Amino acid sequence: MNNIAYVRKPSPHLGDGLVTHIERTEVDVDRAVEQWHNYCDALVRCGWSLVEAPAVDEHPDGVFIEDAAVMFGELAVITRPGAPERRGETTGLADV
């Protein structure tokens, strides 16, 4: 069985993401991108294949791809995010 991880690069606007239950803190986008690369490298080292979803730079929370698509075996369910600001994050996922 081949494990597949769907990933999406952090937006340059990551620090503008939605915050609802905690106080907003500054986000170091360069560090977030570095951490994302390390995360992807770790997945590959553990035997996972990566599929990179198209970037959605205009959506700060787009990196959280698990909120936009849920996998059940070979079936992908594209969600409809509750926050209107996040609905564009599903763009391009059906093509991946």
3-state SS string for 27-45: CCHHHHHHHHHHHHHHHHH
CB atoms within 10 A of CB 14: 20
55 assigned to some structural domain = yes
17 assigned to some structural domain = no
Cβ neighbours of residue 21 closer than 8 Å, sequence gap 6 or more: none
39 assigned to some structural domain = yes
Domains: count for the chain: 1
20 assigned to some structural domain = no
Given this model, what pLDDT does residue 80 score?
Answer: 92
Domain extent, residue 35, equals 4-12+27-95
22 assigned to some structural domain = no
18 assigned to some structural domain = no
pLDDT at 1 over 80: no
Encoding tokens for residue 58? 């205009």
Give CA angle at 69 (93, 42), nearest 5°: 90
Q: How would residue 20 be classed by pLDDT, with cut points 50, 70 and 90?
A: confident
pLDDT digits (tens, 9 = 90+) for 31-87: 999 999 999 999 999 999 999 999 999 999 999 998 899 888 888 899 998 889 999
pTM: 0.84
Given this model, what pLDDT does residue 96 score?
Answer: 79
